[in-house]
């Protein structure tokens, strides 16, 4: 006798995606500062694969517009490694804990703790990658040259350009977190990460962690001053936060929970007349 097996192939609706994203945020906020820092360090280090992959392709092929465009097909590798591998990435956390705050009206202090720890550890991981890439005999000189050139190109933009490309970069990465939450199969998650982060690279949108690997490499190689990196980082991070929080978290909260009471309001007893 064969048991009937029912496979759910229906797409999750917006409410279900939102609830899963909030549950992901709840799980992340339960993690210790020490665990978050280690995961964030690993995430920042792995994000170096974005710029390194692009630099390797450009070093191997003749320079030209088509080569530059083709190289960004490999840009998503770092994002895939971090997001599918569940390491901490700062811009993903403009979604998960934020939707929890919006829903429950609580967890703000814990979210700020998570943001601070993951951001600092991500940047530390980026510094570790750039040090290995530039100061150690790890990569061929031509690859290092291309990596440094990527950093120079990004840090040389105006403040307004850095900010607005950061808004789009934050929007796209928080959107990645949203659609990955909606995906039921790993291959679908990989595809969506690849498609959306390819746009981040090809569109030259600022990402406070991925691009930091390239700019820190340029700092260590000499052409870019340290102050220029921190100036770029502050503006890009502000843009990433606004893009992720407003264009993904807040809008999706609006479509799911607008007009509904928070959990605290639901739990609050009514006063007798």
Domain ranges within the chain, ordered by starting residue: 14-253
pLDDT at 8: 52
Q: What is the pLDDT of residues 180-195, one digit of tens each?
A: 999 989 999 999 999 9
* 145 vs 150: CA distance, rounded Å: 9
Tokens of 177: 């977190």
* 148 vs 218: CA distance, rounded Å: 5
Q: Does domain 14-253 have CATH number 1.20.1080.10?
A: yes
* 269 vs 99: CA distance, rounded Å: 24
- pLDDT surpasses 60 at 269: no
- pLDDT surpasses 90 at 55: yes
- pLDDT surpasses 80 at 4: no
* 75 vs 201: CA distance, rounded Å: 6
What percent of the chain has a predicted confidence (pLDDT) above 90? Answer: 87
How much is the CA Rg of the chain, to the nearest whole Å?
20
Contact 172, 205 (CB under 8 A): yes
- pLDDT surpasses 70 at 58: yes
pLDDT (average), residues 79-91: 97
Contact 229, 155 (CB under 8 A): yes
State the chain's mean pLDDT as an integer: 92
pLDDT at 20: 95
* 128 vs 156: CA distance, rounded Å: 23
Please report how many Cα atoms fall inside a 13 Å half-sphere around the Cα of residue 140, on the Cβ side.
10
pLDDT band per the 50, 70, 90 thresholds, residue 245: very high
107 vs 1, residue with greater confidence: 107
pLDDT at 135: 96
For tokens 């599918």, what's the residue? 84
Contacts of 28 (CB under 8 A, 6+ apart): 36, 88, 93, 96, 97, 114
Using CA atoms in the order 42, 81, 211, 216, what is the torsion angle rounded to 10 degrees?
40
Contact 147, 51 (CB under 8 A): yes
- pLDDT surpasses 60 at 262: no
pLDDT (average), residues 39-44: 98
* 73 vs 194: CA distance, rounded Å: 8
* 3 vs 234: CA distance, rounded Å: 58
> What count of other Cβ atoms lies within 10 Å of the Cβ of residue 250?
13
Q: What is the pLDDT of residues 89-144, one digit of tens each?
A: 999 999 999 999 998 888 999 999 999 999 999 999 999 999 999 999 999 999 99
Q: What is the pLDDT of residues 204-233, one digit of tens each?
A: 999 999 999 999 999 999 999 999 999 999
């Amino acid at each position: 006798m064969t048991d009937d097996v029912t496979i759910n192939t229906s797409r999750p609706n917006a409410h279900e995606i939102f609830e899963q994203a909030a549950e992901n945020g709840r799980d992340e906020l339960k993690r210790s500062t020490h665990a978050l820092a280690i995961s964030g360090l690993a995430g920042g280090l792995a994000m170096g694969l974005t710029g390194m992959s692009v630099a390797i392709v450009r070093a191997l092929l003749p320079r030209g517009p088509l080569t530059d465009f083709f190289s960004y097909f490999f840009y998503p590798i770092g994002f895939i490694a971090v997001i599918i591998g569940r390491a901490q990435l700062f811009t993903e956390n403009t979604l998960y804990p934020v939707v929890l705050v919006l829903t429950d009206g609580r967890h703000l202090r814990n979210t700020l703790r998570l943001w601070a720890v993951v951001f600092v550890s991500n940047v530390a991981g980026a510094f570790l990658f750039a040090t290995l890439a530039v100061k150690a005999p790890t990569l061929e000189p031509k690859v290092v040259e291309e990596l440094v050139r990527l950093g120079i190109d990004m840090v040389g933009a105006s403040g307004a350009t850095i900010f607005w490309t950061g808004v789009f970069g934050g929007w796209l990465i928080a959107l990645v977190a949203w659609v990955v939450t909606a995906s039921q199969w790993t291959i679908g998650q990989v595809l969506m990460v690849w498609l959306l982060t390819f746009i981040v690279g090809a569109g030259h949108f600022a990402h406070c962690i991925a691009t930091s690997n390239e700019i820190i490499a340029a700092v260590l190689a000499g052409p870019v001053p340290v102050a220029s990196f921190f100036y770029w980082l502050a503006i890009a991070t502000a843009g990433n936060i606004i893009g992720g929080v407003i264009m993904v978290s807040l809008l999706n909260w609006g479509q799911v929970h607008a007009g509904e009471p928070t959990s605290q309001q639901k739990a609050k007893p009514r006063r007798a007349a």
